[in-house]
């Protein structure tokens, strides 16, 4: 094989890409991993840096360890936390999610994933700008782009794995097809900002800063359609961020007569955190201190494969629809995509049917809960602060909320709850809506339990998913204030 033809080309050396390449090479394939970044800046998402909240649950790291043997420690695991705590707008209710986890030093973590790929025999091509897939006979047969001298280049592959993140230039340029969507609805995307600071403390208040927990502030005025976060890092370093839905922000601005944007909301959020005397921007290696980027918070694309093509991570809208946590699914997907790509190459069938196993594997390992979680996100975005305060206090126990965050659907012991709700008559509608949302989650979970075993029944199945999500979106409109 020459340098312009591979079994597997992995485009994008972020969280999902490096692992996909490592696993494909481990499976015996000849693999090229390429990225616009120089090797020393591997995984950098944009010119802003490795923009991320950096939080990941231990369970995901355990999964990588079990599949690759790689172990992690300080410095890539920058700081350990007991979990993620979601706090109501009035600060009176708290739900703890996700179990033990870590705040990563992303630049170091991603360098370690690349090291694993190279150790497994992967070629790494830096400073390569991916522009489009090569399409031949309705198959993806490679990629085109610009090499480090800005010269047009074509690289051929039996399978292309798209790990380019949310702004992928590959998925968007696939041929029109009923399997892999080329466009993601803007209402399903959170615009996010992330600031890294060194904090000087004024006083302790676990509602605003907790070295043992990653805090999430639900507040529709502060972060319309999303949430704010304060994640502790090593020493007094802190990762502060905010995610918003554009539509919710517009509605909130109009109702309040304001002209806020993500940047002004971020600045206001950092200033309102009373526990800090001062916040000084810091850089994490070459990671910039302030940055903005986007996260899709819908169910992952229904099919992750096309002829000669697979996708993993943000390119396939994999982040958790409620928490926007995308590191875990990107790591899981990278591992499964790489392994299944190598298997398809060795079986001599890289058609959509030959690659379909990856759809099933990802659905089993992670994907089948995300459509349900999207329903819950849409429901949450329809609630104002008053209802969120009331609901977190009265509607759900902590265990029920945790169960929902894992994509399960608790029995809500309706009779008992209705008695409670009747005390606050104005919230009966919101509670009825919660019951409806949980039922829709159940319906979607059962649709995903019957994920098509091969492409032949996929279109009808995808129609069922679309029908449910459309119904939920019709019922719940963003209503932040
Ligand atoms: C502000 C913010 C906070 C977040 N917080 C968290 C959190 O706390 N926990 C969590 O789990 N998730 C979080 N996420 C989501 C998480 O960061 C992503 O889900 C994760 O990075 C996805 O990894 P990926 O490999 O799919 O894509 P990416 O990390 O985006 O990697 C894509 C790679 O492709 C390269 N690339 C892109 N386009 C091209 C091109 N045309 N040519 C060549 N190379 C290209 C990029 O340089 C990059 O290396 C957050 C996201 C944001 C924006």
What pLDDT, in 10s, does the model give residues 390-415?
Answer: 888 877 777 777 777 777 766 665 55
Note if the pTM is more than 0.85: yes
Ligand 1 centre distance from Cα of residue 88 (Å): 28
For residue 11, give the H/E element and its range.
strand 5-11
What pLDDT, in 10s, does the model give residues 56-81?
Answer: 999 999 999 999 999 999 999 999 99
What pLDDT, in 10s, does the model give residues 243-283?
Answer: 999 999 999 999 999 999 999 999 999 999 999 999 999 87
**Is the CB of 326 inside a 6 Å radius of any atom of ligand 1?**
yes
Specify the ligand 1 atom closest to the Cα of 333: 26
In this structure, the residue with its CA closest to atom 30 of ligand 1 is 165
Ligand 1 centre distance from Cα of residue 346 (Å): 30
In this structure, the residue with its CA closest to atom 3 of ligand 1 is 52
Ligand 1 centre distance from Cα of residue 165 (Å): 5
pLDDT given for residue 1 in this prediction:
45
**CB-CB contact of 354 with 347 (8 Å):** yes
Q: Per-residue pLDDT for the chain (481 aa), expressed as one digit of tens each?
A: 456 799 999 999 999 999 999 999 999 999 999 999 999 999 999 888 899 999 999 999 999 999 999 999 999 999 999 999 999 999 999 998 878 999 999 999 999 999 999 999 999 999 999 999 999 999 999 999 999 999 999 999 999 999 999 999 999 999 999 999 999 999 999 999 999 999 999 999 999 999 999 999 999 999 999 999 999 999 999 999 999 999 999 999 999 999 999 999 999 999 999 999 999 998 776 656 889 999 999 999 999 999 999 999 999 999 999 999 999 999 999 999 999 999 999 999 999 999 999 999 999 999 998 999 999 999 999 999 999 998 888 777 777 777 777 777 666 655 556 655 566 556 777 778 888 898 899 999 999 999 999 999 999 999 999 999 999 999 999 988 8
* CA-CA-CA-CA torsion sign (331, 335, 340, 341): positive
CA distance linking residue 198 with residue 282, whole number of Å? 6
**Is the CB of 251 inside a 6 Å radius of any atom of ligand 1?**
no
What pLDDT, in 10s, does the model give residues 39-54?
Answer: 999 999 988 889 999 9
**Is the CB of 164 inside a 6 Å radius of any atom of ligand 1?**
yes
Question: Which pair of structure tokens corresponds to residue 275?
Answer: 């526990």
CA dihedral 392, 397, 398, 404 (to 10 degrees): -90
- The 3-class SS string of 331-379 reads HHHHHHHHHHHHHHHHHCCCCHHHHHHHHHHHHHHCHHHHHHHHHHHHH
CA distance linking residue 317 with residue 296, whole number of Å? 5
**Is the CB of 242 inside a 6 Å radius of any atom of ligand 1?**
no
Q: SS3 of 112, please?
A: helix
**Is the CB of 248 inside a 6 Å radius of any atom of ligand 1?**
no
Which residue stretches of 219-320 are H helix?
A: 246-256, 262-272
**Is the CB of 324 inside a 6 Å radius of any atom of ligand 1?**
yes
**Is the CB of 327 inside a 6 Å radius of any atom of ligand 1?**
yes
**CB-CB contact of 215 with 205 (8 Å):** no
CA angle in degrees (0–180, nearest 5) for 195-189-23: 80
Query: Ligand 1, residues 146, 327, 338, 366: which to mutate, most atoms within 8 A of Cβ?
Result: 327
**Is the CB of 130 inside a 6 Å radius of any atom of ligand 1?**
yes
- List C-alpha distances in Å: 251 to 100, 225, 243, 262, 375: 36, 10, 15, 14, 20
CA distance linking residue 222 with residue 247, whole number of Å? 14
pLDDT given for residue 394 in this prediction:
79
**Is the CB of 163 inside a 6 Å radius of any atom of ligand 1?**
yes
CA distance linking residue 481 with residue 167, whole number of Å? 31
Angle separating helix axes 370-381 and 428-449, nearest 10 degrees: 160
CA distance linking residue 329 with residue 363, whole number of Å? 11
**Is the CB of 17 inside a 6 Å radius of any atom of ligand 1?**
yes
């Amino acid at each position: 094989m020459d340098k312009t033809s591979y079994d597997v080309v992995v485009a994008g050396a972020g969280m999902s890409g490096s692992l996909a390449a490592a696993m494909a090479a481990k499976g015996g394939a000849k693999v090229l991993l390429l990225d616009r970044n120089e090797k020393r800046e591997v995984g950098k998402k944009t010119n802003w840096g490795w923009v991320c909240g950096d939080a990941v649950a231990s369970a995901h790291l355990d999964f990588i360890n079990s599949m690759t043997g790689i172990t992690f420690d300080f410095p890539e695991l920058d700081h350990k936390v007991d979990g993620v705590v979601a706090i109501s707008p009035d600060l009176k209710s708290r739900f703890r999610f996700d179990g033990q986890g870590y705040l990563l030093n992303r630049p170091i973590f991603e360098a370690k994933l690349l090291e694993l790929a190279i150790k497994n025999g992967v070629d790494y091509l830096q400073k390569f700008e991916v522009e489009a897939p090569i399409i031949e006979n309705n198959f993806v047969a490679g990629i085109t782009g610009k090499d480090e001298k800005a010269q047009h280049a074509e690289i051929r592959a039996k399978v292309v794995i798209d790990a380019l993140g949310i702004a992928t230039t590959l998925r968007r340029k696939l041929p029109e097809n009923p399997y892999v969507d080329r466009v993601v609805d803007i209402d399903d995307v959170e615009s996010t900002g992330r600031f890294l600071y060194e904090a000087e403390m004024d006083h302790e208040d676990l509602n605003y800063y907790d070295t043992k927990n990653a805090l999430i502030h639900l507040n529709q005025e502060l972060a319309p359609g999303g949430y704010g976060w304060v994640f502790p890092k090593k020493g007094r370093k802190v990762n502060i961020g905010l995610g918003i839905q554009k539509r919710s922000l517009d509605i909130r601005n109009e109702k309040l007569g304001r002209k806020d944007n993500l940047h002004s909301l971020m600045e206001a959020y950092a200033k309102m955190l009373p526990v800090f005397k001062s916040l000084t921007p810091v850089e994490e290696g070459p990671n910039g201190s302030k940055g903005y980027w986007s996260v899709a918070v819908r169910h992952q694309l229904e099919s992750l494969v096309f002829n000669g093509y697979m996708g993993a991570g943000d390119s396939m809208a994999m982040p958790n629809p409620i928490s926007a946590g995308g590191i875990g699914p990107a790591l899981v997907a990278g591992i499964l995509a790489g392994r299944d790509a190598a298997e398809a190459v060795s079986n001599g069938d890289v058609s959509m049917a030959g690659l379909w196993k990856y759809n099933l594997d990802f659905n089993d390992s992670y994907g089948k809960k995300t459509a349900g979680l999207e329903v819950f996100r849409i429901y949450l975005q329809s609630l104002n602060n008053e209802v969120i305060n009331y609901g977190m206090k009265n509607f759900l126990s902590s265990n029920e909320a945790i169960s929902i965050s894992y994509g399960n659907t608790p029995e809500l012991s309706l009779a008992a709850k209705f008695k409670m709700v009747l005390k606050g008559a104005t919230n009966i509608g919101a509670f009825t809506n919660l019951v409806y949302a949980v039922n829709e989650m159940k319906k979607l979970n059962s649709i995903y339990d019957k994920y098509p075993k091969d492409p032949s029944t996929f279109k009808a199945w995808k129609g069922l998913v679309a029908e449910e999500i459309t119904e939920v979106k019709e019922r719940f409109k963003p209503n932040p204030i």
